[in-house]
Structure 1
Amino acid sequence: MEAKIRPIRKQQRRLNLTILDVVKKEVTKLLATGIIYPILDSQWVSPMQVVPKKFGMTVMKNQHDELDCMEVFMDDFTMYDESFDACLENLSRVLTRCINTNMVLNFEKCHFMVTEGIVLGHLVSSRGIEVDKSKIDIITSLPNPAFVQEVHSFLVHAGFYRRFIKNFNKIALPLSKLLQKDVDFNFDQPCVEAF
């Protein structure tokens, strides 16, 4: 380590009891597997940030990346080929690479040898790239927006699928006009139809 670099030492922030229990279990697991080990005295102390994820796992990471390191989270990677045997060969190579680089896979999120699946929010299959119906169900069940922020949020979510909606900009124009400065919020009939 370079001599010029001054150690960073910060206090850990208080955690609520539920999160504290999650942290204790995770630290115990990491200690048991040998991924981390206890240090009685260190010049470097950095608070962790606990981030609940939708699939149930909690990610703990350094608060402001003060430790000058890199941590990579990969949500999706997809392998494909023309034949089953070629897919098996690709899978073997990828899993070998994961082992060699100490990459850990979440078994609950792994799907092997499927003919279709959700990749980056889209349904991918032999038919091509399609809209994920569950996302559309959520969007179509939303109540009419009552504030400009809700219109903006809707347009962002709907805009994710703009490639599947012919004339999206034209259809969304009444809603887009509500986002302009100095425009009164009036969710009129053209807005209802666009929504």
Structure 2
Amino acid sequence: MEEDFEPAVQHQRRVNLKIHDVIKQEVLKLLDAGLIYPISDSPWVSPVHCVPKKGGFTVVENEDNELIPTRLVMGWRVCIDYCKLNEATRKDHFPLPFIDQMLERLAENKYYCFLDGFSGYVQIPVNPKGHEKTTFICPYRTFAYRRMPFGLCNAPGTFQSCLSHLERMLKRCEDTNLCLNWEKSHFMVKEGIVLGHKISKQGIEVDKAKVDVITKLPNPTTVKGIRSSLGHAGFLSKIH
């Protein structure tokens, strides 16, 4: 922690009544899994909020009767706003990989292994001295995390440092009982999808599912529509 920051206690934000049950179910799930525990005297308290969990696209009419693409809301994701805590946190400068460089290194190999961490972040334990700093407030009470939650500024670097080398990572998984998502883990396959890109012995290709989405979009008729279309197709610039 930086020395010139004081602990911050933030109040619970107003939450739509329809979202109350979403938060309740998430809290109960985390409690049952032993990932969080009740706490009432933490000097750090961060608010909870919900964001839509989106997947896929559809085309709808706006108020001007124009067809525009929009993401489909598949559910809600409960998040913690750790802005105040992140401001006071001394940053870990572990180097995160560049996606385009990572894809170039992966392309044109004969075989691949794909491993997907099952709820990756929460498998990493938080130092007991730091539990209270992860405290969040919801409509029911305050809770602290025993495992690393999403939203902490140093979480990506901490997680990436565990994945630097496959052999060491698999040994660490075994030593710490780290679980992998078996359905998304593949060994000795000749091709696979990485962040919307298909990699194989032939090199880097576009995921056909991404192209299908773009081809179904209507032709843009406004500046906003053009920007949206360019945003959807932006990842194509990395393919060469």
Specify the TM-score bucket, using the shorter chain as the normaliser.
0.5 to 0.7
Corresponding residue for 1:119?
194
CA drift at 1:150: 0.7
Cα gap change, 1:115/1:130 in structure 2, threshold over 3 Å: closer, same or farther? same
Pair 1:148 & 2:223 matched: yes
Cα distance in structure 1, aligned partners of 2:27 and 2:51:
15
Q: Which has the higher strand share?
A: 2
For 2:85, give the aligned amino acid. L
Cα gap change, 1:128/1:2 in structure 2, threshold over 3 Å: closer, same or farther? closer
Q: Structure 1 length normalisation: TM-score?
A: 0.60
CA drift at 1:119: 0.6
Instruction: Return 17-26 or 29-38, whichever deviates more.
Output: 17-26
Cα distance in structure 1, aligned partners of 2:218 and 2:114:
44
Cα distance in structure 2, aligned partners of 1:119 and 1:152:
25
Corresponding residue for 2:184?
110
Aligned partners of 2:11 and 2:47 also within 8 Å: yes
CA drift at 1:163: 4.8
Q: Which structure 2 residues correspond to residues 64-143 of structure 1 after superposition, within 5 A?
A: 64-68=82-86, 93-98=168-173, 105=180, 107=181, 110-113=184-187, 114-143=189-218
Q: Deviations over 1:50-75 (max 9, x none)?
A: 234346685443324222358xxxxx
Q: Structure 2 length normalisation: TM-score?
A: 0.50
Q: Deviations over 1:71-100 (max 9, x none)?
A: xxxxx999x87668x999x86643333466
Corresponding residue for 1:16?
16
Cα distance in structure 2, aligned partners of 1:95 and 1:57:
33
Q: RCO higher in 1 or 2 (8 Å CA, sep ≥ 6)?
A: 2
Structure 2's unaligned 5+ residue stretches are: 56-73, 92-98, 116-164
Cα distance in structure 2, aligned partners of 1:14 and 1:87:
41
RMSD: 4.0
Cα gap change, 1:96/1:50 in structure 2, threshold over 3 Å: closer, same or farther? farther
